[in-house]
Chain A
């Protein structure tokens, strides 16, 4: 009988510290992934800063990334008013993407966003920024702007205002966090599942002939997780832009 020992969740997302174990300064695998994300971002933008007339290599990649965030996210969600948020949204995109992509990098194979700390911190930071932008744009009228949708009959406001408050002030940061965290955690668990299944089948028994099937699953989902890593970074950044625009917009 095939006996698979699937590791508990804590074993696939919790990592022992390399230094300062148990302290606030503990450095574990997730922290090293942060360090790589920082290093790769700095490398990309340092090597890409060439100013050649015809961009190639890192310069091409960096310029494409900047145009992607600026034209595809900032201009699409906020227009020219949002240009000042480009550094923040660019940082969000790259930090999330690089911490996600380690899910498929051999040996490391762990997305830092599968731990709730990073998505929660970035969602809360974005929460502060977009509500801050709303207060900056509307003053205290922002409360009304956020809670009272236009065209709603006064009688319905008793219902609508609590719903809007729960939606925009309580659920939004939660959904922003969970969307990134849950997608990456689910992808990580999926890859571990297929890897464990492949490993479990690769024994000297007749059912070893089935081992290529989960192996194909590992290969397919590894490619799929590359897409998920990019897509989740894009979605998180795009939603931040949408939230900022909704908060500071004067259109009602």
Chain B
């Protein structure tokens, strides 16, 4: 910043100095103090007693002036020296550093992109694996559930069958018991009825055997 201000100040000073000195060629005539060549020219005119002397003629614009060549060489030499030594290398260094930095950033971004791709691929692989695993677990669970369901169903069916069998047996037993009870009751009623009819008591065991055989014969025909 300080360097910039110094350079700007130097440029302003040179410009002010130049503007202070600058004047058009025509102003040469209004000078109060004549320059050495002008004085020489006046002397030449006076000596020749004529204004048609060499110093009065305008210089040929196609002929270079030695001082302009000299200062041109110096000026161009300074510009070339500065640009070759400091100016161009400085700017090029800045441009190259920027190019390298941008290239580095691009490379880093590319590496990060590749890394992100790898991570994504890994993640996707893990996701796929997890999906497969979950599907496997679900399938296993489903199979286990089916197995349990089949087992439970079989057991339930077995229990039901057992219960049915037991119930049927119970029913059968009850039925047998009921038939036996009924048979006994019927025999008693029949004997009692027969006693009422014949007027005396029959031998109980004989009657029972008689009734029983009757019932059996009835049961066999029904």
With known contacts A16-B28, A107-B19, A121-B69, A116–B83 Cβ distance under 8 A: no
Contact A108 B61 (CB under 8 A): no
In the docked arrangement, what's the CA distance between A34 and B74, Å?
9
Instruction: Give the tally of cross-chain contacts (CB within 8 A).
Output: 175
Tell me which of B3-11, B109-117, B154-162, B214-222 binds A: B3-11
Chain A, residues 48-66, CB within 8 Å of chain B (1/0): the string is 1111110000010011001
A residues 134-162 touching B (CB-CB < 8 Å): none
Does A204 lie at the interface of the complex (its beta carbon under 8 Å from any beta carbon of B)? Answer: no
User: What's the minimum C-beta distance from B51 to chain A, rounded to whole angstroms?
Assistant: 15
- For window 1-25 of chain B, which residues contact chain A by CB distance below 8 Å? 3-4, 7-8, 10-11, 14-15, 18-19, 21-25
**What's the tally of chain B residues with a CB closer than 8 Å to chain A?**
57
Which chain B residue has the least Cβ–Cβ distance from A37? B75
Interface check A122, CB cutoff 8 A? yes
* SS of B interface (majority): helix
Contact-residue bracket for chain A: 35 or more
Candidates B8, B69, B72, B79; contact of A41 at CB < 8 Å: B79
Q: Which of A11, A18, A37, A39 contacts B25 (CB 8 A)?
A: A11
Is B91 part of the binding interface, using a Cβ–Cβ cutoff of 8 Å?
yes
Q: Which residues of A contact B66 (CB under 8 A)?
A: 24
> Could you tell me which B residues sit within 8 Å of A by CB distance?
3-4, 7-8, 10-11, 14-15, 18-19, 21-28, 35-37, 58-59, 61-76, 78-80, 82-84, 86-88, 90-95, 97-98, 101
